[in-house]
Structure 1
Amino acid sequence: MLKEFKSFIMTGNVVEFAVAVIMAGAMGLVINGFVADIIMPIVGQFSGGVDFANLKIILTETSGVEGEAGYIPENAIRWGAWVNTIVNLIVVGLVMFFIVKAYNKTKTPPAPPAPKGPTQEELLAEIRDLLKKQ
């Protein structure tokens, strides 16, 4: 059983999949940083200097001091963070679109089908007709 597992784990597909997962995680970090540090400040600037990450609808205010008895933390709908997530999704989708498009360009197009010639019956009929003329 251990040999079977080792054989399974060492196949090319599993190793390639593991590399793809690690690369996707790294790519996600890069894209999150790009959205948070570059795209959202630009969007905020065009929307009047708003920082979307801090926009929220407060349902319950903070009450008391953190760590003491009777402390009630703030309860809020953080819709600005949700907007950041949507922008992040759009950027990830756009990046993936360009990656797939570039990958598809590297593929060689399928060879065009060979031109079809006459069928065997047509060739036999042509030979028959030529023999009749002789």
Structure 2
Amino acid sequence: MAAITEGVARKSAGARGFAREFQEFLLKQNVVALAVGVVIGAAVGKVVSGVVDDVIMPIVGLVLPAGDWRQAKLALGGNNAILYGDLVGRLLDFAIVALVVFLILRALVRRPAPAPAPAMKGCQFCLETIPAAATRCRACGSTV
């Protein structure tokens, strides 16, 4: 009976160790942050697709020639054809989606202002450029 209890205790400790190791993996490898990013990315993708399909494409439809231009094709014989209308439509969709994503990101994400360059001065002996607050030249060791 003691051997069975001892075996169960070892398996339980092993399971706890595995669970702890798995938890550390999730936290250290940023798996949770990646999952959140994927979910948010999918939601943003739906919003962008909605803007493109419901707002921009109707306006593009007014500018393009009448008819179902996405069905345009070059017949090769039999049932074979090059569907250039579909290809042009996909390229146009991609360009519009990329533009909308760019505009949204540009509006939401601001770049930090570049840090000002540190003040520098030149060593009068060796002409090495050194920080303005330096009291000795790092190249020749003279007092500046």
Provide TM-score, normalisation by structure 2.
0.54
Matched, 1:13 2:30: yes
Distance 1:44 1:85, change over 3 A: same
Question: What's the CA shift string for 1:23-57, capped at 9, x where partnerless?
Answer: 22222233233333333332232122233433334
Percent identity over paired residues: 34
Q: Which runs of 5+ in 1 are unaligned?
A: 62-73, 124-134
Q: Which of 99, 109, 131 does residue 103 from structure 1 map onto?
A: 109
| SS of alignment partner, residue 87 of structure 2 | helix
**Residue 114 and residue 2 in structure 1: after superposition, are their counterparts in 2 closer, same or farther (change >3 A)?**
farther
Alpha-carbon RMSD across the aligned residues, in angstroms, is 3.2
List alignment gaps of at least 5 residues for structure 2.
1-17, 121-131, 137-141
Q: Segments of 4+ in structure 1 off by > 4 A?
A: 58-61
- Structure 2 CA distance for partners of 1:45 and 1:95, relative to 1, 3 Å: closer
Q: Distance in 2 between matches of 1:30 and 1:60?
A: 41
Alignment match, 2:44? 27
The total of aligned residue pairs comes to 110
